[in-house]
Amino acid sequence: MQCVVTLSGNGCALRDATLPRLRSRASPVADILTSQAVRQGLKEMSAWPTYPQVYVKGALLGGVDILAEMKESGELAAALPARDPTAAAAVVHPASAPKPAAAAAEVAAPAPFTGLTPELTERLQALVKRAPVLLFMKGSPAEPKCGFSERMVQLLKANGVLRFDTFDILSDASVREGLKLLFNWPTFPQLYVKGELVGGLDVVRQMIEEGGGEPLPSLLGIA
């Protein structure tokens, strides 16, 4: 199977947001609520803490917000396998779903990029440590250039993260494409805390939802 969706059963809003984006590709679906071992194991193996998760050719593509941003930028069609007009979407048991690859997701870059040089790697590793909380986004908090970046800024401020630095990835193609490869994260915004990647909008949102009322600064370790 070239494309498999792992998600929870009926009644999940994120599930309902994901499937319409993939129906034209007849993607098999694995219900992670049927197996706790698979549900927890995928989180650890893929280093992705939330569901739904979409895998293409065994490599993790991402969740609903990443799919939405990739569709908006035109990258989603290139990342998904070619549509088989005779195929129908199938529901598969998690035990039979492909295991995620350890490599980075196979996502077509929107612009030519030759790879990471030692110099760029060193620069990026220093850059993510520039501030205790650093958001790589499109635009700036005052003038965001995409809806996902705008929502991330709003989410951080609304949940008590008032002091954070930002970097406009539209201003530097090397940073934009290099971060995707170095940290195996294909879309923006990307939030870093103390030099470590936290994730994108869906990850931060899920942290808040599952945090049991704990303030976001405390969840991020910056309280």
Residue 222 to residue 194: CA distance in whole angstroms? 9
Confirm if 211 and 219 have CB atoms less than 8 A apart.
yes
Domains of the chain are: 3-96 (3.40.30.10), 118-219 (3.40.30.10)
Which of 5-9, 113-117, 140-144, 176-180 comes out lowest in average pLDDT?
5-9
The length of the chain, given as a count of residues = 223
Which residues are paired to 192 by β-bridges? 134, 197
Whole-prediction pTM value? 0.59
Between 61 and 132, where is the model more confident? 132
Place of tokens 């969840």: 219
Residue matched to tokens 């569709």? 71
Q: Which residue has the tokens 């929502």?
A: 151
Query: CA-CA distance, 103 to 110, in Å (whole number)?
Result: 19
Q: In angstroms, how far is CA 62 from the centroid of its own chain? A: 5
pLDDT bucket at 105, cuts 50 / 70 / 90:
very low
Helix 173-182 / helix 118-127 crossing angle, nearest 10 deg: 90
Residues 40-92 have pLDDT tens digits of 777 767 666 677 888 887 777 777 777 777 777 676 777 777 665 555 555 55
Q: What is the mean pLDDT of the chain?
A: 79
